[in-house]
Amino acid sequence: MNITLELNKLLAFARQHSTYYARHLQNVAPQITTLDELPLIDPQQYWASSENLEHWPVLTSMVERALLFKTGGTTSAGRLSVFTREEWQTLVRDFGRHLASQLNPGDRVANLFFVGDLYASFIFIHDALAHETAGVTEYPFTGDVDLGVLADAIRQHRINVLAGVPAQLLTFASVLERQGQSLAEVETVLYGGESLFAGQLQILHRVFPNARIASIGYASVDAGFIGATSRDCALGEHRMLASHSVLEIIDEHTGELIEECDRSGRLVVTNLTRRLMPLIRYPVGDLACWREPARTAMRKFALMGRSMSSQRVRVSSLTLLIEDIDTIIQRNTVSDDWQLVISQSANVDILCLKWVPEALKPETTQTSTVLQNGLIEHYPLIAQLCADGQLELQVAHCTAEELARHPRSGKRQRVVDLRSYATPRPEQRPWTT
């Protein structure tokens, strides 16, 4: 595939049919040779007016013969990602063919992703498995399966592959461990939707002692297929499939295009397969670094946490939108200074909202409680995750000096991700101690 040719076709189409792109690309030459000749998308501007699809300027036509999925937050927030049926089939075909590298002939796969309420993950993996080439059998349980039923079914049907989000897999493992059970039948655990951390790996290995643990692949509802999985990838590492999506890594402070290995920056995607809802130099919200030199086929990259400018934050199975948090804060305080800090302790994710009051008053502590209740009301999943011991929510007032700043630019960061994204070596053999 001639990437430059395909890119210019995409640009011409987007300019002609999308009001947003006609304005966004108005100062760009008719033909380009490199992506850095194009401006980056501002996600806030991109999603503006998306609550009404008939009037969303990004779209290139009416929504017909299409699939719509929720991108995060609440359905009423209007963040819906739109695919034509042909685009969806291209997505699941490409993802499924590369997913086959993590599977073996005869594998029996329990699909434990979630379905309903416009969530895409279960349907996405189900459709992708229809295109894998290893020759596997799928058991479509969904993430709502009773965990006792699941354990019995794994033994009865000799299911040897589990596929799901880390939060669900960890919940299952914790239940089994409390009951003194392990499942030696499980040979592969494939996770997706969230990162998996070192301490969490230990829990999974204790309960699934013969399992190789790997990413199922890297995709998002808004950006589509971002990175393929392969057996030589460590946890958090993926490979670019340039015929589907072209990736760039860009310095958060200077905007410089990063080509050298092991230097972290914003991950930006240009999807060559989407026409109804084009994504051209779209920041996905993650930090990443290259693991292989430029011009390497299917160049490998590693995820390094959330970008400080991310508009969406993923913690456990919870997705939070920055604008939602800002609305809650503005409704209850007069503060514009706040920061979301994500950390981890004893395998529990800690979500801390720090905010700066105009002045310390007797009611300041009460305001923190109001903010905490507002977050839980807006995101009911927080209460469930806290009850399950997977999340701790903290809200605290602080001084402006206590808010973290970027080490080079000095700019205040909305999101600070303190979790360790060090990538263990690829797991090609069962865990041994």
- Of 431 and 11, the structure prediction assigns the larger pLDDT to 11
Give the pLDDT band of residue 410 (cuts 50, 70, 90).
low
How many Å apart are CA 373 and CA 102, to the nearest integer?
A: 42
pLDDT of residue 73: 46
What domains are there in the chain, each with its CATH number?
1-34+47-235 (3.40.50.12780), 312-417 (3.30.70.1350)
Strand partners, 214: 190
CB 249 within 8 A of CB 283: no
Higher-confidence residue of 302 and 432: namely 302
Task: Write down the pLDDT at residue 75.
Answer: 36
Does the pLDDT of residue 138 top 60, yes or no?
yes
Euclidean distance between CA atoms 284 and 176, whole angstroms:
35
| Residue 431 clears pLDDT 50, i.e. is over it | no
Which of the four pLDDT bands, split at 50, 70 and 90, describes residue 92? very high
Q: What is the pLDDT of residue 423?
A: 61
Q: What is the SS3 assignment for 243?
A: coil
Q: Which amino acid is at 230?
A: S
Q: What is the pLDDT of residues 245-295, one digit of tens each?
A: 999 999 988 899 999 999 999 999 999 999 999 999 999 989 999 999 999
Beta-strand pair 265-271/245-250: antiparallel
Closest CA to 73 of 307, 397, 243, 320: 320
Structure confidence at residue 386 as a pLDDT band (50, 70, 90) = very high
Of 54-68, 101-115, 409-423, give the lowest mean pLDDT range. Answer: 409-423
Structure confidence by residue, pLDDT tens digits, 147-187: 999 999 999 999 999 999 988 899 899 899 999 999 999 99
Which pLDDT score is estimated for 429?
A: 39
Q: Are 424 and 303 in contact (CB under 8 A)?
A: no
For residues 93-118, give the mean pLDDT: 94
Residues 6 or more apart whose CB falls under 8 angstroms from that of 201 comprise 213, 235, 424
- Residue 320: partners with Cβ closer than 8 Å, 6 or more residues away: 72, 73, 312, 313, 314, 340, 379
> Quick check: 337 and 398 in contact, CB under 8 A?
no
The per-residue pLDDT of the chain, averaged, comes to 90
What is the rounded CA–CA span in Å between residue 4 and residue 428? 37
Q: Give the Å distances, CA to CA, from 167 to 200, 210, 251, 337.
A: 10, 20, 31, 31
- pTM over 0.85? The answer is no
Phi, psi of 318 (to 5 degrees): -100, 135
Amino acid at position 93, single letter? R
The residue assigned the tokens 């927030």 is 77
Pairwise CA distance, residues 405 & 252, whole Å? 13
237 neighbors 301 (Cβ within 8 angstroms): yes
Lowest mean pLDDT among 163-177, 221-235, 414-428: 414-428
Report residue 433's pLDDT band, with 50, 70 and 90 as the boundaries: very low
Contacts of 237 (CB under 8 A, 6+ apart): 215, 291, 300, 301, 302, 303, 423, 426
Percent of the chain surpassing pLDDT 90: 68
Contacts of 122 (CB under 8 A, 6+ apart): 111, 113, 114, 115, 140, 142, 143
Per-residue model confidence (pLDDT) at position 21: 98
- Tell me if 395 sits within 8 A of 369, measured CB to CB: yes
Give yes or no for residue 47 having a pLDDT over 80. yes
Read off the pLDDT band of 9 (50, 70, 90). Answer: very high
- Say if residue 197's pLDDT is above 70: yes
Bridge partner list, 286: 306
* pLDDT digits 0-9 by tens, 77-86: 548 999 999 9
Helix (H) or strand (E) holding 82: strand 80-84
